[in-house]
Structure 1
Amino acid sequence: MTPVAATTVAPRVAENLNRALHRLFDREESLYLLGEDLLDPYGGAFKITKGLSSRFGDRVLTTPLSEGGILGVGGGLALCGNKVIVEVMFGDFLALGFDQLLNFASKSVSMYGQQVPVPLVVRCPVGGNRGYGPTHSQSPQKHFVGIPNLALYELSPFHDAEAVLDAAFNRGAPGILFEDKVLYTRRMYRDQRVDDSFRYQIVGPGPGWAHTFPDGEAGGADFVVIAPGGVAHRALDAARALHEEYGRSVHVVTPAQLYPLDIEPVLPLLADAGRVAVVEESTGGGTWGAEVARMLYERIWSSLRGPVLLLNSADSIIPTAGHLERKVLLGTDDIRAGIRQTAGWEGGSPPPAPLVAPATAPATGSPVTVPQLNNNDTVYLVTDWLVDEGAWVEPDTEIISLETSKAQADIAAPGSGYLRRVAAVGEELAVGDVLGHLLPEPAPRGTPEPVRPVAEDGAPPVAAEHRLDRAQQGTAAVVAKSHREIPAGFTVLKAEVDDALDTLARLSDETGAMLGLAEVVVKAVADAHQEFPRFFGSLVDDRTVALADAPHIGVTVDVEGALYVPVVKHADEQSLVDLADTLMDFRMKAVGKEFAAHELAGGNIAVSWNPDPGVVLVHPIVLWPQLCMVSVGAVAEECRIDAAGVAGMRRFVHVGLAYDHRVINGQDAVLFLTWIKSSLENTAGWEEN
């Protein structure tokens, strides 16, 4: 994640922050960085410090696991005239260094009879929505509000990280930069545009405030939401929905500096609107939002048309399970509902249904058709209707689920109306086919609804039944198609893994990453791309194979009966540590069923991972339109007699390859598997990978 040349695509927030750190180190010879697991190739828990230790090794210091110790040393270095950045791996752990911030760093600025610079910035990843659970997901900003000399900042996609860090250091006093983890993979906003419907402008001195508003509506806000960077996207989604539903102009303002807060730049906007909400992900009670409300009551009491609306997450620890985590944390719907209720906005309700059905059939209304979801598939499976037949729906209400290449997509209504369902669950439809209609009035009673597939007449009665859920239905459709269309062969080799497992255990201790055979297999398959390009292709016709320019490797993840195959894009460019992070992210998303469609599409080969004890080998089904799938069984042991006649236990795995026999023959398969086997048995060079 070293600095790269500017491109037409905005950098991700993590890339912007990494680039800012590199630039600071380039121009600040007395700058130090302290924290846990910062050194390359790991580069920090979220890769923000990647590349820094390779370039500035004498000033990037990895530390023991002691937040109090790290912050104490960092504060001491800053007090001695150095600029210091301390990375706390998770915001939850900042509490362990609270004493050093409250009683040492912040007080050292002014307790010696004169102002003493203490240029210390604490970087602190915070926030939930990542499935990390109660001890790695909190937003502790409110606990640091009001400490003299301690400034608080928050990362955002509007504010350049270098400018924010410069502002923090220029104060000559300690500061904390809170970085919501969900922002790292989002792209920065630029050119004063958020999307096609919202623009923004920076107001105020320094990093300032980002003022976001519907295009053409910079003035005259009906409601203003004050949202720090981590919740700004949720506030913007709520503003967009309220604008579409009620035609109301909801603006969002995002400060770079949380405390001390300079409210002056946005005070005219807030006073003119008269309705203000402050949203944050922390729990309620003693919040940053309460401090903002206090300031507004003092400054614009007479202009406010009601109390400042404070919206927070639920009063609860943060669960690990995705569906429970979403119930606890503040979301877009919470913001939207809170604003609508506070403002008393009406409208958006469906017109009343007539008491008597019309004598004639209703008009066909607006059709809802199958959209183009990706470039790999031409048909999609209808897995579930999300809205009842005849129900009134608003624009952008998700009404039906489609499955493609193991990706689940919920299709939204293009307009409003009464839903008339046409497509049946289990039906395969092409792009442009009609899913249903949105009618201006209810369909006549007695109009039949498409019937779900049922068992044939004469089937024996059953005591109970199991209905496949949406993920299982999607899996069934994909593997059935693959089984019908691909004439597959299958070859297996045995690979010894004693040295591999010992080396991985050592590297895990050295890097802090959870390294296993899965990462090595994915890396080996990726490295085989140049030698075996056909294995990564797809059939165009009976005589032509389209070759891939890079290995994009799908990896099976099976959770609670649902099978996902998320794709490691450009796997050849990732180190073993990078792959460990990627695969761990896949597992967490599988638990919460949180995969986006693009994460499950685009693969050109796949790995079936089957580590359960006792699994000897698995013959997988190649995923159309791919040509190959590698399978790996569980680690097993067998007794071997060595050359000296001594018996010993050796660990091994079976590595198999299912392949499209139209393109790949048995000898090719053996050569490919021999490559994988050699990669597992030869650990030389793994440290560099």
Structure 2
Amino acid sequence: MTGPAPRVVEALNRALHRLFDERPTLHLLGEDVLDPYGGAFKATRGLSTRHPGRVLTTPLSEGGIAGVAGGLALAGDEAVVEMMFGDFAALAFDPVLNLISKSVTMYGERVPMPVVVRCPVGGNRGYGPTHSQSVQKHFLGIPNLALYETTPFHDPYALLKEGLDRGPSMLFEDKVLYTRRLYPDGVVDGHFAFQLLGGPAGWAHVAPADGGPADVVLLCPGGMAHRAIEAAHLLRERGATVHLLVPARLHPLDLEPVLPLITGARLVAVAEESTEGGTWGADVAARIHRQAWAELRAPVLLLSSADSVVPTAPHLEAEVLLGAPRIAAELGRALPEIAPTPVRPTAVEEAGRLAGVPVVMPKLNNNDTAYLVLEWHVPDGGYVEEGEPLLDVETSKAVEEITAPASGYLRVLAQTGSELGVAEPLAELFAAPQDEPAPAELPAKEPESAAPADRTYRLDRVQQGTAAVVTRAHREVPAAFAAVEVRVDAALERLRAVSEETDAEVGLPELLVRAVAAARPAFPHLFGTLLDERTVELAERADIAVTVDAGNGLYTPVLRDCAARPLAELADDLMEFRLKAYRGEFTAGELSGGALTVSLNLEPGVLLVRPIVMWPQLCMVSIAGPVRRLVPSDDGPVAANVVTLGLAHDHRVVNGRDAVAFLRTVAEGLSDPQQLAKLTD
């Protein structure tokens, strides 16, 4: 595949165009599907212009739309129906159940019913209770009706073609997936790859690129795929290997191509966004139990969203909908309950019956000298497997989970509430239960007061971490500063268009990150780390940290591979970062690894921000404004929106000339029409 892979909505639009070219009797019906609007999510853009008379905009009557589609099919034509939101498919349930699906076999002979009902579904967009449901389960098991779901692995053309040919069918399209790109052929990321099993509308098998066997096989629909991959990464960090199985056709389900993978795992699970009860996942579990019970190590684990309507507020929506952290946590908890294959104890394990394996406080970041013990996941004297979660500790910016370095029985040495330095003992692990009592409970350290409480202000742990970073930056980095002013009217106009095209809230932060990342090939030494007085280690890609402050302290999470990802994806990640900042839920991994930091200061009235350089980085870019003021032009002074870009840079590596040239390159990305087109494509 050459060039960037298309976004799912773009691939869906191309598929519809191709089908209309191939099938002269095909019609499309829906609300607001005509150009220039092209549907609520732009999937039908260009169709009515290219095929006038075959794309029909309809009144707000989902039952009527589906009924007309059934009539077209009975008359020998083909029809694709677009529900503006999948929630409204409930209004079309009667014609789907009693006309379209039954007509296939109700008249004494099989009648072709080439109808596909397309339904945008799912939450994580803040659309609220009536526009965010996953309604797939309500159509499951209707005779003659096939159910499909878009995925980031399958070409939508294959799904629509098969859906029309075997018809009738429904295609569920996760709304978050619209702005995500299809994965290129066989590639997910540096750790996972995929292959299609059972044809172009079959299963996507996502597995570690190194071919590791599965501890967990996780089945999920396409809309859950990105969250499942994120969960697989989280479990990979804990030593567990996850394989994903993502079908394009939800029903009827063909398990034969993937049964050998399912039966070889320690744990099989199904994750879906719908609420519990009568779900696709329950149907999958029943089929697996029926076909492979003798080979399973445990019953199939079912993971669903909370029993609730979907809230509008993003932080509440995240609590209700099934996400990657909960998937990883549930799988991690289930794995220890499954007995591993018995092995003979090693000499080290035998010796461990007499001498415990020490567990010490690891070094988690470069800012803190001590960390707070928050919670033990295993009780004192309890047994834990190597790699399983042992305890949580709090750094100045994140809560980190520490896993067991070996299997054994736990003897706790550091109690909840105690603060320990790096390498101080936390616990010991023994191969056999120990008779010695654990140390007495240690009280949490009380802060020392230097003045009456009403005359002091104590920094919380997040601000203490910020203080450590700032102190080290000023002590170790000889920083210089440069700034340029940029007109951004063209950028703001283009961003409004991109937001309309992608249905994502895209703004100056995402555009600035892309512009900074795009400048890396011309200024590689700005994206590096100073190893010694003569050597800079260059970053392999543009991983950009951004400042996020939701009122709970300043965080700098990292946006990964910013040069290769669309603005809509960066916008989704930034929104997730803001929610995590609000809840204080970052992990150390999310806050580390940035090659350069961007300081976002877009509040009204901010004119200039002079950032620091966050060691071991070499540069930090800042943006302020925008502000409205008069600027010179060929026709005299005109009112314009301007921002000030700043660059703090390590003067040992970056000179003023390079700093200004870099800023001008980034500024062109925010102002030059050609550069804007490249960055927002």
Short-chain TM bin: 0.5 to 0.7
* Deviation by residue 1:299-345 (Cα, 9 ceiling, x = unmatched): 99xxxxxx9998754431234555774467595599779999xxx99
Superposed displacement of residue 614, structure 1: 3.1
Q: Could you say which residue in structure 2 is the equivalent of 1:144? A: 139
Q: Could you say which residue in structure 2 is the equivalent of 1:495? A: 486
Residue 636 in structure 1 maps to residue 627 in structure 2: yes
Superposed displacement of residue 638, structure 1: 4.0
Aligned amino acid, residue 641 of structure 2: R
Superposed displacement of residue 190, structure 1: 9.3
Contact 2:197 2:257 in 1 (8 A): no
Q: 2:308 aligns with which of 293, 305, 316?
A: 316
For 1:676 and 1:255, locate their aligned partners in 2 and report how far apart those are by CA, in whole Å.
42
Change (3 A) 1:291 1:503: closer
Contact 2:150 2:171 in 1 (8 A): no
**Secondary structure in 2 matching 1:634:** strand
Q: Could you say which residue in structure 2 is the equivalent of 1:558? A: 549
Change (3 A) 1:621 1:449: farther
Q: Could you say which residue in structure 1 is the equivalent of 2:649? A: 659
**Secondary structure in 2 matching 1:541:** coil
For 1:17 and 1:668, locate their aligned partners in 2 and report how far apart those are by CA, in whole Å.
40
For 1:367 and 1:77, locate their aligned partners in 2 and report how far apart those are by CA, in whole Å.
73
| Structure 1, unpaired ranges of 5+ | 6-10, 219-223, 245-250, 271-275, 301-306, 348-361
Contact 1:67 1:94 in 2 (8 A): no
Contact 2:122 2:132 in 1 (8 A): yes
Q: Could you say which residue in structure 2 is the equivalent of 1:482? A: 473
Q: Could you say which residue in structure 2 is the equivalent of 1:273? A: none
Superposed displacement of residue 201, structure 1: 13
Q: Could you say which residue in structure 2 is the equivalent of 1:359? A: none
Residue 686 in structure 1 maps to residue 681 in structure 2: no
**Secondary structure in 2 matching 1:387:** strand
Superposed displacement of residue 231, structure 1: 7.5
Q: Could you say which residue in structure 1 is the equivalent of 2:531? A: 540
Residue 626 in structure 1 maps to residue 617 in structure 2: yes
Q: Could you say which residue in structure 1 is the equivalent of 2:22? A: 30
For 2:548 and 2:524, locate their aligned partners in 1 and report how far apart those are by CA, in whole Å.
25
Q: Could you say which residue in structure 1 is the equivalent of 2:421? A: 427
Q: Could you say which residue in structure 2 is the equivalent of 1:357? A: none
Aligned amino acid, residue 410 of structure 2: Y
For 1:419 and 1:536, locate their aligned partners in 2 and report how far apart those are by CA, in whole Å.
45
For 1:385 and 1:363, locate their aligned partners in 2 and report how far apart those are by CA, in whole Å.
27
Q: Could you say which residue in structure 2 is the equivalent of 1:675? A: 665
Q: Could you say which residue in structure 2 is the equivalent of 1:173? A: 168
Superposed displacement of residue 182, structure 1: 8.6
For 1:43 and 1:548, locate their aligned partners in 2 and report how far apart those are by CA, in whole Å.
42
Superposed displacement of residue 518, structure 1: 2.0
Aligned amino acid, residue 619 of structure 1: R
Q: Could you say which residue in structure 1 is the equivalent of 2:346? A: none
Change (3 A) 1:657 1:111: same
Contact 2:368 2:468 in 1 (8 A): no
* Deviation by residue 1:236-284 (Cα, 9 ceiling, x = unmatched): x99xx9xx9xxxxxx99997655456799999x99xxxxx999864334
- Residues paired across the two proteins, number: 632
Superposed displacement of residue 101, structure 1: 4.0
**Secondary structure in 1 matching 2:514:** helix
Superposed displacement of residue 628, structure 1: 0.7
Aligned amino acid, residue 468 of structure 1: D
Aligned amino acid, residue 138 of structure 2: H
Contact 1:495 1:652 in 2 (8 A): yes
Change (3 A) 1:605 1:254: closer
For 1:98 and 1:278, locate their aligned partners in 2 and report how far apart those are by CA, in whole Å.
26
**Secondary structure in 1 matching 2:429:** strand
Superposed displacement of residue 613, structure 1: 2.5
Q: Could you say which residue in structure 2 is the equivalent of 1:518? A: 509
Superposed displacement of residue 106, structure 1: 3.9
Superposed displacement of residue 83, structure 1: 6.4
Superposed displacement of residue 427, structure 1: 3.3
Superposed displacement of residue 561, structure 1: 1.7
For 1:257 and 1:139, locate their aligned partners in 2 and report how far apart those are by CA, in whole Å.
16
For 1:410 and 1:279, locate their aligned partners in 2 and report how far apart those are by CA, in whole Å.
23
Q: Could you say which residue in structure 2 is the equivalent of 1:119? A: 114
Superposed displacement of residue 629, structure 1: 0.6
Superposed displacement of residue 146, structure 1: 4.7
Q: Could you say which residue in structure 2 is the equivalent of 1:615? A: 606
Change (3 A) 1:535 1:38: farther
For 1:294 and 1:56, locate their aligned partners in 2 and report how far apart those are by CA, in whole Å.
44
Superposed displacement of residue 615, structure 1: 2.6
Aligned amino acid, residue 538 of structure 2: L
For 2:356 and 2:317, locate their aligned partners in 1 and report how far apart those are by CA, in whole Å.
38
Identical pairs, percent: 42
Residue 367 in structure 1 maps to residue 355 in structure 2: no
For 2:56 and 2:567, locate their aligned partners in 1 and report how far apart those are by CA, in whole Å.
20
Change (3 A) 1:253 1:526: closer
Contact 1:390 1:442 in 2 (8 A): no
Contact 1:180 1:229 in 2 (8 A): no
Contact 1:611 1:635 in 2 (8 A): yes
For 1:436 and 1:186, locate their aligned partners in 2 and report how far apart those are by CA, in whole Å.
46
Aligned amino acid, residue 385 of structure 1: V
Aligned amino acid, residue 686 of structure 1: L
Residue 394 in structure 1 maps to residue 416 in structure 2: no
Change (3 A) 1:36 1:447: farther
For 1:685 and 1:570, locate their aligned partners in 2 and report how far apart those are by CA, in whole Å.
19
For 1:95 and 1:182, locate their aligned partners in 2 and report how far apart those are by CA, in whole Å.
22
For 2:671 and 2:175, locate their aligned partners in 1 and report how far apart those are by CA, in whole Å.
41
Change (3 A) 1:444 1:105: same
**Secondary structure in 2 matching 1:674:** helix
Aligned amino acid, residue 661 of structure 1: H
458-467 vs 652-661, which moves further: 458-467
Change (3 A) 1:608 1:70: farther
Q: 2:519 aligns with which of 512, 515, 528?
A: 528
* Deviation by residue 1:108-153 (Cα, 9 ceiling, x = unmatched): 6567886443334445564557877645543212222354532224
Change (3 A) 1:544 1:54: farther
601-610 vs 573-582, which moves further: 573-582
| Structure 2, unpaired ranges of 5+ | 263-267, 293-298, 341-352
Aligned amino acid, residue 375 of structure 2: V
Q: CA RMSD in A?
A: 6.7
* Deviation by residue 1:376-422 (Cα, 9 ceiling, x = unmatched): x7897654424359463623443345789977642222324224346
For 2:269 and 2:537, locate their aligned partners in 1 and report how far apart those are by CA, in whole Å.
54
Aligned amino acid, residue 365 of structure 1: G
Contact 2:368 2:465 in 1 (8 A): no
619-628 vs 16-25, which moves further: 16-25
For 1:121-520, what aligned pairs fall within 5 Å after superposition?
121-122=116-117, 124=119, 126-127=121-122, 134-135=129-130, 137-153=132-148, 167-177=162-172, 207=202, 257-259=249-251, 281-284=273-276, 287=279, 313-319=305-311, 320=313, 322=315, 325-326=318-319, 329=322, 364-368=355-359, 383-388=371-376, 390=380, 392=382, 394-395=384-385, 396-401=387-392, 409-414=400-405, 415-421=407-413, 425=419, 427-428=421-422, 436-439=427-430, 447=439, 459-463=450-454, 468-469=460-461, 475-506=466-497, 508-509=499-500, 512-520=503-511
For 1:328 and 1:442, locate their aligned partners in 2 and report how far apart those are by CA, in whole Å.
43
Q: TM-score, normalised by structure 2?
A: 0.66
For 1:627 and 1:61, locate their aligned partners in 2 and report how far apart those are by CA, in whole Å.
55
**Secondary structure in 1 matching 2:536:** strand
For 2:568 and 2:157, locate their aligned partners in 1 and report how far apart those are by CA, in whole Å.
27
Q: TM-score, normalised by structure 1?
A: 0.65
Aligned amino acid, residue 421 of structure 2: E
Aligned amino acid, residue 438 of structure 1: L
